[in-house]
Structure 1
Amino acid sequence: MRQRWLRLRETFWFVPAVLGVVALLVAQALVRLDRALLDRGVVIGDSLLYHVGASGSRDILGAIGGSMLGVAATSFSITISVLATTSSTYGPRLVRNFMADRGNQVVLGIFGATFLYSLTVLRSIRSLDADGDTFVPDIAVNVAVLLAVVDVGVLVYFIHHIAQSVQVGTLSARVRQELRDAVDLLHPDDPPTGLADIAEATLPPRRATVRATRAGVVLGIDDAAAVALATRHDLTLVLRCRPGDHVLDGDPVVDIHGGAETSDVVATVRELVDLGDDRTPRQDILFAVEQLTEIAVRALSTGTNDPYTARNAFDDLSSELARLASRPTPPAVRTFDGRPRLVTTHVRVTECVDHVLDAVRLYAMSSPLVVRAGIRAAERIGTATTSPDVASRVSMHLARLAETCERDMTDPSGRADCIAAAAEADKRIRHRTHAVGSYS
């Protein structure tokens, strides 16, 4: 349920829809307040409100509503244009960041809410009712004017925000923050209690296998709810997939061990695995790594030829992967009362290292600047980790990079610099690793 709520909040229409409903409710409430004050003979002085007649109020509300609808349409067109440009330049997967951007959602929501508010207040104005009196909701009309003033500031903010959001530094920083959040969520510096190594866990016999009911990508798994369910029914749940995996209709996703097989339990377990059409970095570290890597690879294409963007992307990757490499890998088994309840599979640091450094070796040989950034990333990861496996894998990639530079890099001075940098980085990694635990 929590995963679905988070996905709903990231949809482009959710915040505008909420603000639109709020605008309708506020408009109705202020109109009722105006009518109640009029019925009681309460008159608010000119020092507080600007009073106009029925015709003037209609003109004001019509102008505000019409202009805000036009501004909202223009803002939406600008957003679509930015989405198209970003998709073609930096990759289609970054479009999700614009759709989930809270600033864009709030701006379009405010413009739409102002239009709905003005329209609702406009329909309440009466030039002549059955008693021969007019009704002009002065408070509601003045609030509409105040909203129009606020909308001018929102428009200025939107122009600044949309111009800033297409800068590659902003895009890279946003993806880097998503990677940081995923690392903190899945690989906390202080792992929670109730974890064990899978080698120490004795699993009961398998009772059932929960299968996917549709094809899609595993977006996330509600670990807390899974542990609670397994504890309540004395089960052990073994996940056959992890966030980011693509499954087909009928593929196994969870094995149920122990307890008694019931259709209710199977249906509940199936709901714990959130399936969607597109990957998200919330519980998928590798997806955030792939996004930053894609920015670098696209920047190195012949049509773009922007090695500085690629260098910045690899620097951003190195900062977060170094944090990931320094964190302890969470055990695969979550326990409760000493019993194994949930067996999961985590993304290994070596997978992320392979993805990043292979991209450097395959795509960056024409740019010594980017190769040195990749070597710098490898050194940061290798010196930050306390795992001999990770350090050994980084050293292997540095050796491959040196061999590829020797064979494929055409710039003689750049080739010599990169080979020397790779050798020096490997030396520092081995020195650091021998200081905390040897490997060969």
Structure 2
Amino acid sequence: MHAFLVRVRESFWFLPALLGLVAVVAAQLLVTLDRDVLAGQVPAVPFLDALSAGGGRSILTTIGTAMLTVAGTSFSITISVLATTSSTYGPRLVRNFMADRANQLVLAAFTSTFLYAMVVLRTVHTAVDDGDPFVPVVAIHVAVLLAVVDVGVLVFFIHHIASSTQITSLQRQVQEDLRVAVEHAYGDGDDDRRTVGRVADPEAGRGVVRAASDGYVQSVEWRGLVSWASRTDSVVDVVAMPGRYVIAGDVLATVHAATGSTDHVVDARAARTVRSSVLLGPARTPVQDVDFALQQLVEIAVRGLASGTNDPYTAVSALDLATSVLVPLWRDGHPVTGLLDTAGRVRVLQHWPDPRALVRGLFTTIAQYDAGHPLVEAAADRLAERLEAVAPPHRRDVVTQVRQHARGSGS
């Protein structure tokens, strides 16, 4: 279920399919209402003009054809624009377009209106057709209303695409992904998800759960693992954290049995449960992958400094947006090492990257490309100063050392 929900969120088919089904059902219900009105079982709806069969068919045909044409043309042009944008600022940004709920709803609105019009169209009959003339007046007027709404949806879509393909909007989306990933992975020291010390008896038995296929670990259904471990009185140590590439046979997790057990074998059912909680995919995503979320923002900065682009202001903006997330993390963030059940017992162990590794990777990458760009160097220095100003005692000298090392490796 976890894998299904994650894939649905980034798919272009689910919402159109769902609203399409709703449109088909609504069309059938309204046609039934029209039949009841014609039979005198339901009072006629006021203010609705009578329509001939030919007029009703023309309206429905026009609406259906127009909606499908608009949907195809709009998204073809949009994908073309997106391809150009992604080639400049990174192909991995296409995922943001796919996961954009507004884009999914717009496509769903157009396709569901088309399906609605087609279902209603098949019910229009004349006396010549079968001797039982029928024109669903209410359903046809609802189709007209949907067409009017879709005009507004089209205007919104044009505005949304023009706005979302701007580099500032793309950077904001990536920054939000980074912020969510950081909040998921790091506590503030008082977070009840964070544990220290030994959480599993090294003498206790443990079993190993291995990957059944290849791919990147995209996300883990943590709460499901906690619930399962609590029911079985186990501790699950997730070895393959989000962002790691595994092949079939690699260890995904180890399952520690209750203290006192000397031998523990993970049965097939338990292995399937743990394995189904770990979503594998062909590419990394920023959903729970902190390092990749930050890498996306850095990639935008690096591509802005490429000779073909030569846009240092994009790199400066990317560093400024990274500052908004990294400064609070550097001041208060601690990697969450364990998740607790309702009884307060540690059930799932996690291994998130150390914040120092994130900062080191950012400065090292930027230093390789910012030479000859004083604006970018100044932005990197501002980030370093802010991190140093809020650093706790154990991180006070880290930024200076990392920055000096990055300068040396970038020269």
Q: Deviations over 1:86-138 (max 9, x none)?
A: 22011111000001111111111111111111111000001127984421100
Match of residue 435 from structure 1: none
Match of residue 208 from structure 1: 207
**Letter paired with 2:24:** L
**Is residue 92 of structure 1 aligned with residue 91 of structure 2?**
yes
**Where in structure 1 are there 5+ consecutive unaligned residues?**
409-440
**Is residue 264 of structure 1 aligned with residue 269 of structure 2?**
yes
* RMSD of aligned residue pairs (Cα, Å): 2.1
Cα gap change, 1:142 to 1:189, in 2 (>3 Å): farther
Structure 1 residue 392, shift from structure 2 partner: 2.3
Structure 2: how far apart are the matches of 1:340 and 1:133?
Answer: 71
Structure 2: how far apart are the matches of 1:194 and 1:131?
Answer: 69
Instruction: After superposing the two structures, state which structure 1 stretch, 79-88 or 55-64, moved more.
Output: 79-88
Secondary structure, counterpart of 1:196 in structure 2: coil
Secondary structure, counterpart of 1:388 in structure 2: helix
Match of residue 79 from structure 2: 80
The partner residue of 1:298 within 303, 322, 330 is: 303
Secondary structure, counterpart of 2:241 in structure 1: coil
Structure 2: how far apart are the matches of 1:301 and 1:194?
Answer: 42
Match of residue 288 from structure 1: 293
**Is residue 241 of structure 1 aligned with residue 233 of structure 2?**
no
**Letter paired with 2:339:** R
Structure 1 residue 344, shift from structure 2 partner: 1.3
Match of residue 51 from structure 1: 50
Q: Deviations over 1:214-243 (max 9, x none)?
A: 110111122222222222212121121211
User: Is contact 1:31–1:140 with CA below 8 Å preserved after alignment?
Assistant: yes
Structure 1 residue 209, shift from structure 2 partner: 0.9
**Is residue 321 of structure 1 aligned with residue 326 of structure 2?**
yes
Structure 1 residue 326, shift from structure 2 partner: 2.4
User: Is contact 1:69–1:111 with CA below 8 Å preserved after alignment?
Assistant: yes
User: Is contact 2:367–2:407 with CA below 8 Å preserved after alignment?
Assistant: no
The partner residue of 2:361 within 355, 362, 368 is: 355
Structure 1 residue 161, shift from structure 2 partner: 0.8
**Letter paired with 2:31:** V
Structure 1: how far apart are the matches of 2:268 and 2:401?
Answer: 49
Structure 1 residue 7, shift from structure 2 partner: 2.5
Match of residue 20 from structure 2: 20
Match of residue 36 from structure 1: 36
Structure 2: how far apart are the matches of 1:123 and 1:341?
Answer: 57
**Letter paired with 1:369:** L
Counterpart mapping for 1:32-431 below 5 A: 32-40=32-40, 42=42, 44=44, 48-128=47-127, 132-189=131-188, 192-193=191-192, 195-199=194-198, 201-259=200-258, 260-261=264-265, 262-336=267-341, 337=343, 339-386=345-392, 388-389=394-395, 391-400=396-405, 403=408, 408=411
Instruction: After superposing the two structures, state which structure 1 stretch, 372-381 or 27-36, moved more.
Output: 372-381
Percent identical across equivalent pairs? 44
Match of residue 8 from structure 1: 8
Instruction: After superposing the two structures, state which structure 1 stretch, 213-222 or 188-197, moved more.
Output: 188-197
Structure 2: how far apart are the matches of 1:149 and 1:257?
Answer: 60
User: Is contact 1:206–1:255 with CA below 8 Å preserved after alignment?
Assistant: no
User: Is contact 2:60–2:140 with CA below 8 Å preserved after alignment?
Assistant: yes
Structure 2: how far apart are the matches of 1:202 and 1:27?
Answer: 62
Structure 1 residue 275, shift from structure 2 partner: 1.1
Structure 1 residue 402, shift from structure 2 partner: 5.3
Cα gap change, 1:112 to 1:200, in 2 (>3 Å): closer
Cα gap change, 1:351 to 1:30, in 2 (>3 Å): same
Cα gap change, 1:99 to 1:191, in 2 (>3 Å): farther
**Letter paired with 1:18:** L
Cα gap change, 1:191 to 1:303, in 2 (>3 Å): same
Q: Deviations over 1:369-399 (max 9, x none)?
A: 011111111222232332523x322111232
Cα gap change, 1:3 to 1:181, in 2 (>3 Å): farther
Q: Which has the higher contact order (CA 8 A, sep 6+)?
A: 2
User: Is contact 1:191–1:330 with CA below 8 Å preserved after alignment?
Assistant: no
Secondary structure, counterpart of 2:351 in structure 1: coil
User: Is contact 2:68–2:110 with CA below 8 Å preserved after alignment?
Assistant: yes
Instruction: After superposing the two structures, state which structure 1 stretch, 170-179 or 196-205, moved more.
Output: 196-205
Cα gap change, 1:141 to 1:339, in 2 (>3 Å): closer
Instruction: After superposing the two structures, state which structure 1 stretch, 366-375 or 35-44, moved more.
Output: 35-44
Q: Deviations over 1:179-226 (max 9, x none)?
A: 111122222447543642144653443432111011101111222222
User: Is contact 2:193–2:337 with CA below 8 Å preserved after alignment?
Assistant: no
**Letter paired with 1:44:** A
Instruction: After superposing the two structures, state which structure 1 stretch, 379-388 or 6-15, moved more.
Output: 379-388
Secondary structure, counterpart of 1:255 in structure 2: strand
User: Is contact 1:16–1:106 with CA below 8 Å preserved after alignment?
Assistant: yes
Secondary structure, counterpart of 2:126 in structure 1: coil
Cα gap change, 1:14 to 1:130, in 2 (>3 Å): closer
Structure 1 residue 21, shift from structure 2 partner: 1.1
Cα gap change, 1:130 to 1:360, in 2 (>3 Å): closer
Structure 2: how far apart are the matches of 1:200 and 1:237?
Answer: 11
Structure 1: how far apart are the matches of 2:389 and 2:37?
Answer: 72
**Letter paired with 1:99:** M
Secondary structure, counterpart of 1:363 in structure 2: coil
Cα gap change, 1:200 to 1:62, in 2 (>3 Å): closer
Structure 1: how far apart are the matches of 2:16 and 2:129?
Answer: 38
Cα gap change, 1:32 to 1:385, in 2 (>3 Å): farther
Match of residue 261 from structure 2: none
How many residues were matched structurally?
A: 404
Structure 2: how far apart are the matches of 1:350 and 1:15?
Answer: 40
**Letter paired with 1:10:** E
Structure 1: how far apart are the matches of 2:193 and 2:107?
Answer: 45
Structure 2: how far apart are the matches of 1:146 and 1:210?
Answer: 55
User: Is contact 2:109–2:150 with CA below 8 Å preserved after alignment?
Assistant: yes
Secondary structure, counterpart of 1:126 in structure 2: coil
With normalisation by structure 2, the TM-score equals 0.92
